[in-house]
Structure 1
């Protein structure tokens, strides 16, 4: 049986606004982040999109976002937390390394600074979201995660060429829709909020 996963990035935070690296560190949602999350909640309601289960990462920006979208019970999971960037967390985004041309990501760069590799992030995202979708009573699920972690999950199912061809951008509060069957996720669509 085909199931559906809505994987969402949290709302804008203070660190997003200040262009700081977040990772495992946290910062509060901005007024825009709060308003955008409510807008996504309204979209789900207007389109009669209901979830039998909801999940978010253990980071507050994700749980705060989820609570603005729905008042249903939810579970917090470490497996869908943001990419760990080690000592770079809280620092300016200008310190981010250049993208590895072969892996087309930050690769192993952050490991030497106490963070995670792209492969580690992708593996835990895939493992956690697969386990969620394999639960018998989970048919239509909402999961709120983070930009880097969500991107690495998407990379498992779509090539970089396809991501570029479809012009997929993971803005704050972006919602990616996947179908799930027999251990495999299939990307269906992305919805970003309209820019003001």
Structure 2
């Protein structure tokens, strides 16, 4: 059985300012840097075969702080957050109220549907985990992308209610081309 560690990036300036990030980007805060450094301490105890990151700066910076130059990583566009179109950089107050509303809300504004994100993540992560030498894998992504990936596998309501804070680790087992959520680590210290 293989293991995927899917991690949400560290806290960013837009997280603090409650702005919609999506495909736009903002830097890690000092707290985000600290979170990523603590994640690095957590992952020192785990042998990783490969590491992957969304191409967003906030994920690449988080990945680099986790890996501490101990191994290279691959940047993949398919691990990016949902594109929120014209809402990028705007207040989170403009977001839809329920996960169901995210499915098509952003399409008229140049964004993508949450179903597209979930399918993109599922295809990407399945491709990663089916590689023969990928037994234990780190992938750093985003809150919405992690949520929509989980939504492709199971009802995410219970996990959503607990929150997907910055630095959350989703541990998935991968066997016979199927993902199974094993646990969610919200306090990784």
TM-score bracket, normalised by the shorter chain, equals over 0.9
1:168 Cα shift? 3.6
Match of 1:145 in 2: 141
CA contact (8 A) 2:150 2:156 kept: no
Instruction: Find the counterpart in structure 2 of residue 185 from structure 1.
Output: 179
Matched, 1:118 2:117: no
For 1:127 and 1:79, the matched residues in 2 are separated by 9
Contact kept? 1:25, 1:89, Cα under 8 Å: yes
Unmatched segments (≥5 aa) in structure 2 = none
**Pairwise CA RMSD of aligned residues?**
1.5
Residue of structure 2 in register with 1:81 after alignment = 80
Corresponding pairs, count: 187
Residue 105 of structure 1 deviates from its aligned partner by 4.9
Runs (4 or more) in structure 1 with deviation over 4 Å come to none
Instruction: Write the mapping of 1:24-173 to structure 2, written as runs, cut at 5 A.
Output: 24-45=23-44, 48-70=45-67, 71=69, 72-99=71-98, 104-163=100-159, 167-173=161-167
Distance in 2 (alpha carbons) for counterparts of 1:92 and 1:62: 21
Cα distance, 1:156–1:136 mapped onto 2, change above 3 Å: same
- Deviation of 1:174 after TM superposition, in Å, equals 0.4
